Amino acid sequence: MWLKNWLTKRKQKYNDLCFIKQLKDRNIYLIYPFVISKRENLVISNNVYIGPNAWIILRANGKLRIDEGVIIGPRLKCLVANHNYEDNMLPYSSEYIVKDIWIEKNVWIGTDVTILPGVHIGEGAIIGACAVVTKNIPPCAIAVGNPCQVIKYRDKEKYLVCKDSGKIYMKHPNNDHSYKHIIKY
């Protein structure tokens, strides 16, 4: 039994590392360890960083879309489905209520953030550490808390100047953000 468990874990780690290697060619850094169910439902653009211990659960046909230039801190939790508690079964039915999640360009998500089904995070938004995102976040908003609420907005003119001049962290030539020492091949 121990051999079967050991082999299963080794195979999973091998699959994870092959997945990471495919992403690396597109300047996508998904730091190990992580859990992603239904990887075919995950759409990631180029120049994305996802910190260690990400937990992305894509049930049924739910999708997670992450646009270019997104930086996500450690321990992200992302769920695209929820149980139906209003059905004729207790505590809930076996059917899922599925709603996709979309994270637009140049979003910064802090440590220990939970994103719940159906959320759309607008371009250039910042989500503070330990936030629980239950509703849509507008572009350039700075949002924190449980539940996550907008507390202020970024300077949109400054944001657009940085964006238009190519000063995007994951693409900028002056940033040596080579995470190769973190990724274990």
Neighbour-count burial of 17, counting CB atoms closer than 10 A to its CB (0-12 exposed, 13-18 middle, 19+ buried): middle
Instruction: Name the one residue in this structure whose structure tokens are 């360890």.
Output: 33
Per the annotation, the verdict on 83 as an active-site residue is: yes
User: Where does 73-162 show beta strands of DSSP type E?
Assistant: 77-79, 81-83, 96-98, 101-103, 108-109, 114-115, 120-121, 126-127, 132-133, 141-144, 149-153
Catalytic residue among 83, 120, 172, 177: 83
Catalytic residue numbers, as ranges: 83
